[in-house]
Structure 1
Amino acid sequence: MVHARSRTASGDRRRTPVWAGVPVVALLALALQGCQQPAAGGAGDRPSATAPTAPGAPGAPGAEGSSAASPARPSASPTAGVADGTAADDPCALVTQAEAERLAGTALTVGKDLAGTCTYTAPESGPTAQVEIFAGDSGKSYYDAERGIGHEMRPLDGIGDEAWLEDGSVFLRVSEQWVAIRLVRNAEPSRFDKPLEELARTVAGRL
């Protein structure tokens, strides 16, 4: 380092650093530059935050290949069994209470399901009325019995694979499924021919 020589009053020579004459402003500038250097392990060494992954993108929760479980699928329709050919399992699902009441023209109690049949009956305070639905083997047996004793039956077009109407009853078949609907009322049977036909058409659409 280059030194300037100065002389004291005693005559001794002393060496003084050259930057003793550097302006104070320049020294302050150097000090500030040193303070602005990032410290080791500080914020400058930290990785930047990762942006959240959009739903459905690879690695996002619920995306294919991720560990998140997929949403549960809706369960099957409660009437799927009728369409699958198991009408005998729930004959009351083929004709609702409201439909049975519309056919009988009076209020009926809740249907009772027993051995492939569903029966709606009038309350004790009401008129004599009953609607019976025979499904599966019981429906076919009822049809065969009515044929066997020679009851007159009239064919109905456009209902299932075949359909037949007699006084107070209607029979229909869709594939191998047979259904018979019987109405008991103290009234002229022909009065209920049209309601029976309409109900048979509705039931056929459920098989």
Structure 2
Amino acid sequence: MRRRLVVLALTLTTLAGCGNEPTPAPPAPAVPPVTTAPLVDEAPALPDACELIKQADAEKLAGTPLDPPLPVKDTCTYTGPVTGPTAQVEVYVGDGAKKFLDIDRELGHAFTELAGIGDEAHLEDGTVFFAKGGVWVSIRLVRLVDPAETRDPLEAAARTAAGRM
């Protein structure tokens, strides 16, 4: 009985293998190389916010020494030391800067148009906004002074940043 099972197993194995040579797969059709064209609506690359307004620029704008920058995504923040005086410089690049401007417009803030900075530029108390090559930038200065004192330094900072783009 045992011998019959072994013979049967060998026979089935042999029969199963007969004529079952693997069939080679047909060759893959030739595919032409794909060429890509740049998208028309591709967003421009965003500059580094901390490179637009560097430490020395931020300190000049604030009129006081500031702590090293804190970059987060498309922003850069310089804060005054805890010993004072109160000062902070914030730089926003890209959609966040544009949204900041749009919200301030919706809130009815007063703006002054600035000429010769990027494609367009707007100044309000404590903040300057400008666009260059489709990229929006805002520079905000927080100080406990009359906003009239910060207008010229903000405009100068915007010119510096736009020149680095």
Distance 2:111 2:45 in 1: 26
- Which protein shows a greater Rg? 1
Distance 1:85 1:115 in 2: 13
Q: In the alignment, residue 130 of structure 1 is paired with which amino acid?
A: Q
Listed as ranges, the matches of 1:141-156 within 5 Å are: 141-156=99-114
In the TM superposition, residue 205 of structure 1 has moved relative to its aligned partner by 1.1
Q: Does 1:106 align with 2:68?
A: no
Listed as ranges, the matches of 1:115-134 within 5 Å are: 115-134=73-92
Which 4+ residue blocks in structure 1 deviate beyond 2 angstroms?
Answer: none
Q: For 2:132, which of 174, 177, 189 is the aligned residue?
A: 174
Distance 2:113 2:142 in 1: 21
In the TM superposition, residue 85 of structure 1 has moved relative to its aligned partner by 3.5
Query: What CA RMSD, in Å, does the superposition of the two structures yield over aligned residues?
Result: 1.0
Distance 1:110 1:141 in 2: 26
Listed as ranges, the matches of 1:76-95 within 5 Å are: 85-87=45-47, 90-95=48-53
Given the two structures, how large is their TM-score scaled by the length of structure 2?
A: 0.72
Alignment check: 8 A CA contact 1:107 1:126 kept: no
In the TM superposition, residue 86 of structure 1 has moved relative to its aligned partner by 2.0
Q: Does 1:139 align with 2:97?
A: yes
Given the two structures, how large is their TM-score scaled by the length of structure 1?
A: 0.57
Distance 1:185 1:142 in 2: 19
Identity of aligned residues (%): 51
Aligned residues: 122
Structure 2 counterpart of 1:162? 120
Listed as ranges, the matches of 1:25-64 within 5 Å are: none
Structure 2 gap segments, 5+ residues each: 1-43
